[in-house]
A and B are shown apart, each in its own frame.
Chain A
Amino acid sequence: MTRKSRRLAIIAAVALGLGTATLLSMSAFRQNMVFFMAPTDIAQQGVPAGRTIRLGGMVTAGSVSRGQDNGSPIAKFRVTDGKTTIDVSFAGILPDLFREGQGVVALGTLAPDHSFVAAEVLAKHDETYMPKDVADALKKTGHWNPAKGAPAPNTLWTGATATPPTSIKSGG
């Protein structure tokens, strides 16, 4: 085999390898891309049931309740971004840092009744941590201006729907 034909063979093999990689990534991207959404985004954009998304927001204070389903414990809570609130259910052990009134990110799908079924609830390792995506979402809804200090204390995130807590309003 001459040097030229060897080079051609190598180029063909490289093109095949990288081409396969590109095609695989493109199709997998389309199917597996997961969007991050705050409850308001979900309400506005109308997410089809069954599509996997990442939901982020604050766990509404006093909203956590636990029940049973087929012998498995189910945790139910509400997540809010200050404008809109959504019901979330999760089968499994809530992460160690899951607290009412704190930021949370959940991976899951929308049920036909517009509640959110979480397959995974993510928590950071740091107890003071606010997930970056959640912080951005709160800034977007205007309920937290980082220039005016820390977000409102936990107890104020009580099922805020139409009107955000007053102290937050004055802060933002």
Chain B
Amino acid sequence: MQNTLAALVTPGLIPELGHFALALACCFAGAQAFAGIVGPWRRHAGLIAATPALAIGQLLALAVACAALVLASLADDFSVKNIFENSAIAKPFIYKIAGAWGNHEGSILLWGLILGLCGGAVTAFGGNLPTLLRARVIGVLGGTSVGFLLFALLTSNPFTRLWPPALDGRGMNPLLQDPGLAIHPPILYAGYVGFAVPFAFAIAALIEGRVDAAWGRWVRPWAVASWAFLTCGIALGSWWAYYELGWGGYWFWDPVENASLMPWLTGTALVHSAIVVEKRESLKIWTILLAIGTFALSLSGTFMVRSGILNSVHSFAADPTRGVFILGLLGLLIGGSFLLFALRAGNLSPGGIFAPLSREGALILNNILLCSIASIVIVGTLYPPFADLLIGQKISVGAPFFNATVLPLAIPMFVAMALGPLLPWKRGRLAPLLQHAWWAALIATLTAGIASFGMGILPACGFGAAAWLILGSFAEVAERTLLFRTKAATSVRRARGLPVAVLGAAIAHAGMGVTVAGISGSALSTQKIVSAKPGDHFFSGGYEWTLLKLDSKEGPNYQARVATILISKDGVPLQLVRPERRNFTAQHQTVSDVAISTNFLRDLYVVLGEERDGEAVLRFHVNVLAPWIWLGALIMASGGTLSLLDRRLRVGAPVPARARKKLVTA
């Protein structure tokens, strides 16, 4: 397969073609930015009409560049420096494809491609947008692309050649040779880069000096889609850390993890505040600010990870010189946006008024709490590197800091999350609220109460919060379908008529509850470290673990030691697991391959450590409810995706007639 590919392509031509396509894409992006900004400004019909074609051209050129990199990697073209450094002839086929974006240069190209896809998507799905707004949005996206493509071309060119070409590559970091990590970057980047679209909408709105309900309706699906991708991306990364690093944990408050959490928090706030813009024409300035801030955090996340400012266990490629370029790009983009914001935000007229106890009030509370948590994460992540830079003091803060600060703010947010959707717009009253939610509150309190007998107070509260979130999320659905209060058929009919977005929101909120339950479960988890020889057996976490044998195994590009362990409960054999310890010969690197046996209520997790004198170090974990952590994230993301299907988002009319009449009479 690979030989035929190599024979098909003229050696050396493919990377040059890719390099040319990348430069062409940069030119297209420049033209796109010019046409999209100057066209609407000068009311030049030709320029405005050219923007969609330019965006598509940029996307096509980028697709060619990416295809060239993948093809060159498949053809083992070691005259390309990037492929020499990150690939090898012996590398499995799938990782020759996925490896194309598993390194710094390739991942920046992927960034560019996804940004190009965003431009293409606005072109394709933006048919109902006003022509001027669409041109401006595409123009801003083009300008952002120019920055990133220049960054790729000037400082991290994936097509840099090597002379003389090498015979074989250095190979890929074994930790990255994993299916989860192969799809992790595209999904995470789709989330990061997707927030470029709300950002472009915000800048376009500032240039126009107008934000209205229609703007909120247009921007929200983009924000929700990016948010869903980012949620999946973070969950995948955390899952990878769980099963690949073999430390038994799922979230380490590592700077690189925090870098993706920050835009997620503000992005979540954005998704909610855009609802207020859409329904009530309120919170406009704030929403614009959030759109800019979220993209700025996405960019800084890339900057921090790629520049090596953040010392992390996850960082693979770090080069400070590149950091300067991204820092400049960041300064230009963020500084420019905030300057525009300062100049224009005052022109945006404030919208409808409302009481503190109302849907708007709850959404504002959600925004305040999310942004407070985000600011804590920012401070905790950025203070240590800046303290090192400015006063030369080497400090760090870890999980205890974040747990102590984030939890007290998360709890009121969980309480409000379930209540918010039950409140009416403009003005709510306490009595009906209690009437609708008392049963959820009662069950949640009972859950916490019962749980507190078996565990500490904090995890018990966690389980209570989880129950409250899951039940409370469906309180609105139950309320709107008059569940148990009318005939079942009526309820079903009402459920059919329910807007999909309502259901999506309920599912997303419940997903958070599932994740909270999973996190609380980790307080019940147990672990035991032993040194064992074949035949030894141990008791840990209510299970009996017997080491049956230790043998060697030959993999495609590694040698491994394999332990065979029988797990039984009360004398009944449950499961045979085989954790491995792989030695990748090309890189002289050892990687643990964790054995996990799950039944969705608990994971049995075994790690094989080093061996001495016929005894192997083994670690047994029983991780209670661990799969729920990622299951919840998946449910959250699918709730977001479901709400994208809402018919109301696809309808051209910006404000329904009924709502408009209400606005006029109000």
Contact = CB atoms under 8 A, between A and B. Distances in A.
Interface of A: 1-3, 6, 9-10, 13-14, 16-18, 20-21, 24-25, 27-29, 31-37, 54, 66, 68, 71-73, 91-94, 96-97, 107, 122, 124-127, 131-133, 136
Contacts of B612: 66
26 contacts: A1-B354, A6-B354, A17-B371, A18-B368, A18-B372, A20-B408, A21-B373, A21-B409, A28-B397, A28-B404, A32-B400, A32-B401, A33-B395, A33-B397, A34-B397, A66-B531, A73-B529, A73-B617, A93-B529, A94-B609, A96-B581, A124-B313, A125-B175, A125-B313, A131-B311, A132-B311
A96 B372 contact: no
A25 B405 contact: yes
A29 B401 contact: yes
A107 B400 CA distance: 13
Nearest to A4: B353
Contacts of B173: 125-126
B131 interface: no
Given A9-B356, A36-B395, A71 B408 contact: no
A47 to B, nearest CB: 14
Contact of A122 (B313, B364, B404): B313
B456 interface: no
B369 A3 contact: no
A24 B355 CA distance: 29
Contacts of B590: 96-97
A72 B530 contact: yes
A59 to B, nearest CB: 14
Nearest to A122: B313
B395 A35 contact: yes
B379 interface: yes
A13 B379 CA distance: 21
Contacts of B365: 13
Contacts of A25: 376, 379-380, 401, 405
B607 A29 contact: no
A127 B470 CA distance: 45
Contacts, number: 127
Contacts of B380: 25
Given A21-B375, A28-B401, A93-B619, A133 B311 contact: yes
Contacts of B529: 72-73, 91-93
B318 to A, nearest CB: 9
B589 A97 contact: yes
Given A17-B368, A21-B376, A96 B397 contact: no
B350 A13 contact: no
A2 B619 CA distance: 62
A66 to B, nearest CB: 6
3 closest cross-chain pairs (CB), A and B: A93-B609, A36-B394, A17-B368
A62 B173 CA distance: 28
A126 B581 CA distance: 17
Q: Pick the most buried of A27, A29, A122, A131: most chain B CB atoms within 10 A of its CB.
A: A29
B592 interface: yes
A25 to B, nearest CB: 5
Nearest to B371: A17
A126 B396 contact: no
Given A25-B380, A29-B401, A94-B609, A36 B396 contact: yes
Interface in B384-411: 393-398, 400-401, 404-405, 408-409
B587 interface: yes
Interface in B324-369: 350, 353-356, 364-365, 368-369
B185 to A, nearest CB: 16
A20 B24 CA distance: 50
A32 B401 CA distance: 6
Contacts of B353: 1-3, 6
Contact of A21 (B405, B530, B591): B405
Interface string B515-541: 000000000000011110000000000
Contact of A73 (B531, B581, B607): B531
A63 to B, nearest CB: 15
